[in-house]
Amino acid sequence: MKAVLLILVFASKSLAATYWLEPLVEESATHIAPTPIQRFMAQIEMKRLRECAEAHGFSESVLATYFSAIRIDLGDNAKLTYLVFPSRFGTAFFGAHAISYWLLEQRSDGSLKLLFSGGDDGIKVLSGRSNGLYDIGPFYGKEIGHLRFDGDVYHGKEP
């Protein structure tokens, strides 16, 4: 009985993954987002991209590859989910500690859906589930939130 309990505790802890945004941005050259994600992000963040272009003198080619992305597991193996973040510093996407990020889901037809956007130090994928996807815990400093998937997007307590 104790062995089964220990295995369950170990398994539930191994589900959680932590993504610190600052190191991801520092390594962003190895994670440049695919073109469909770049285009999707340009549509939803055009105003902030233009602010960065004006403030930092970014060229069109820099703007065309401004976002980086990594695949993350939110518990639905049938769908691709991405954590998207800036590939370089831009004042419109960075705060004192916070870095903007987005969770995107790629649907079977190739289209993308925004599941959540925020600005924090990082994000944890938690072991709890809501409507088929893992709960997430955005964190800022020592504060951590708890967001649940409502079947469409993530909602809940942010840090």
What are the extents of the domains in the chain?
16-122
What CA–CA distance (Å, rounded) separates 119 from 101?
A: 6
Q: Give CA separation, 56 vs 14, 24, 88, 117, in Å.
A: 41, 21, 11, 23
Task: List, for residues 49-99, the tens digit of each pLDDT value.
Answer: 999 999 999 988 889 999 999 999 999 877 899 999 999 999 999 988 799
What is the per-residue pLDDT across 88-144, written as a single tens digit (0 to 9) for each?
A: 999 999 988 799 999 999 998 999 999 999 999 999 999 999 999 999 999 999 999
Burial of 40 (0-12, 13-18, 19+ CB in 10 A): buried
Please, which residues have CB within 8 angstroms of residue 117's CB and are 6 or more apart in sequence?
100, 101, 102, 103
Stated pTM of the model: 0.88
